[in-house]
């Protein structure tokens, strides 16, 4: 499904970028241009980011104490 019509970015691409480490809308914008034009897709981006809370990488990063991250 196309999430960002301005840049023709689908949910599969967004999920792939999240699995590669994108943790917020800014990182997704840098990775694939999503959300950089009209902003109409920002609510959907938030939902996709929230869905990925169970992703192994995000769980590891979120569970790491801030002091250990530097």
- CATH code for the domain defined by 2-64: 1.10.10.1100
How high is the pLDDT of residue 3? Answer: 95
Distance CA 62, CA 65 (A): 8
> Domains of the chain: which residue ranges?
2-64
State the pLDDT at residue 51: 85
HSE-CB at 4 with a 13 A cutoff on CA atoms is 23
Per-residue confidence (pLDDT) for residue 50, from 0 to 100: 86
pTM over 0.75: no
pLDDT tens, residue order, the chain (70 aa): 999 999 999 999 999 998 898 888 999 999 999 999 999 999 999 899 888 755 555 444 444 444 444 4
What's the confidence (pLDDT) of residue 52? 78
Q: CA–CA separation, 33 vs 42, rounded Å?
A: 12
């Amino acid at each position: 499904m196309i999430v960002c019509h301005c840049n023709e970015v689908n949910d599969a691409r967004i999920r792939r970028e999240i699995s590669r480490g994108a943790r917020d809308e800014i990182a997704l914008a840098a990775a694939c241009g999503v959300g950089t034009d009209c902003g109409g897709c920002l609510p959907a981006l938030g939902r996709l980011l929230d869905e990925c809370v169970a992703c192994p990488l995000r769980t590891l990063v979120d569970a790491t104490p801030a002091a250990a991250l530097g």
